[in-house]
């Protein structure tokens, strides 16, 4: 499922901006990071999201978009 999300996000951002990301963890089934320089996309499996609890790490930051 993460691979499908990676592909969909990447295609849409490339179409709209022409930017290519640096992708870390694309072969990982738990956590993928897509770095577009101006925005960083984190994709987690449910287990990894619960384990890392990134919302608590970034609770002082501004949420621009949250998809579940």
Q: Where are the domains of the chain?
A: 2-57
On the question of pLDDT at 9 being above 90, the answer is: yes
Is the pTM here over 0.85, yes or no? no
pLDDT confidence of residue 7: 92
Distance CA 16, CA 22 (A): 17
For domain 2-57, give the CATH superfamily.
Answer: Beta Polymerase, domain 2 (3.30.460.10)
Local confidence band at 25 (pLDDT 50, 70, 90 cut-offs): confident
Return the HEC string of 32-51: EEEECCCCEEEEECHHHHHH
């Amino acid at each position: 499922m993460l691979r499908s999300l990676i592909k969909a996000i990447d295609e849409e951002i490339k179409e709209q901006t022409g930017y290519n990301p640096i992708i870390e963890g694309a072969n990982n089934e738990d956590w993928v990071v897509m770095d577009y320089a101006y925005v960083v996309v984190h994709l987690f499996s449910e287990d990894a999201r619960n384990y890392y609890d990134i919302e608590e790490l970034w609770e002082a930051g501004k949420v621009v978009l949250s998809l579940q």
